[in-house]
Amino acid sequence: MKVTPWEVEGVVDYYKLMDEFGISSFSTLVDRIPNPHRFIRRGIIFGHRDYDRIIDAIRSRKSWAVMSGFMPSGSAHFGHKMTMEEIVWHQKMGGMAFVAIADMEANFVRGLSWAKTREIGFQYIKSIIALGLDKNNSIIYFQSASRKVKDLAFELSKETNFSELRAIYGFESETPIARFYIPLVQAADILQPQLKDFGGPKPVVVPVGADQDPHIRLTRDLAARSSIFSFEKIENGVRIRSRKGVNYLEALKGLNFEKKIYEEHLDVFGDQREIEDAVRCVEVEIGGFAFVPPSSIYHKFMTGLLGGKMSSSKPESYISLFDKPEDGAKKVGKALTGGRATASEQRQLGGEPDKCVVFELFAYHLIEDDRDLAEIKENCLCGKTMCGNCKKLAAELTKNFLSEFQERVNEAESKLDEYEIIY
Q: What is the pLDDT of residues 43-66, one digit of tens each?
A: 999 999 999 999 999 999 999 999
Tell whether the model's pLDDT for residue 398 goes beyond 80.
yes
Residue 6 has pLDDT above 70, yes or no: no
pLDDT reported for residue 314: 73
What would be the CATH architecture of the domain defined by 2-226+293-299?
Answer: 3-Layer(aba) Sandwich (3.40)
CB 29 within 8 A of CB 55: yes
Q: What string of H, E and C letters represents the secondary structure of 200-215?
A: CCCCEEEEEEHHHHHH
Question: Considering the entire predicted model, what is its pTM?
Answer: 0.94
Write down the domain spans for the chain.
2-226+293-299, 229-285, 323-421
Q: Which of 10, 72, 18, 19 is nearest to 46 (CA)?
A: 18
**Average pLDDT estimate for 399-403:** 98
The architecture of the domain spanning 323-421 is Orthogonal Bundle (1.10)
| Digit-coded pLDDT (tens) for 75-131 | 999 999 999 999 999 999 999 999 999 999 999 999 999 999 999 999 999 999 999
From CA 399, how far away is CA 391, in angstroms rounded?
A: 12
Residue 230 confidence (pLDDT) above 80: yes
Q: Which residue has the higher pLDDT, 93 or 339?
A: 93
**In CATH terms, are 2-226+293-299 and 323-421 the same topology?**
no
Q: pLDDT digit string (tens) for 184-199? A: 999 999 999 999 999 9
Q: What is the largest CA-CA distance in the chain?
A: 79
Predicted local confidence at residue 151, as pLDDT: 98
Q: How confident is the model at residue 307 (pLDDT cuts 50, 70, 90)?
A: confident
Can you tell me the mean pLDDT for 22-35?
96
pLDDT value, residue 312: 67
Per-residue pLDDT, averaged over 366-374, amounts to 98
pLDDT value of position 315: 73
At residue 359, the pLDDT reads 97
Which of the two residues, 6 and 377, has the higher pLDDT score?
A: 377
Per-residue pLDDT tens over the stretch 200-221: 999 999 999 988 999 999 999 9
295/54 Cα distance (integer angstroms): 8
What mean pLDDT is reported for the chain?
Answer: 95
> For residues 34-47, b (16+ Cβ closer than 10 Å) or e, as one string?
eebbbbbeeebbbb
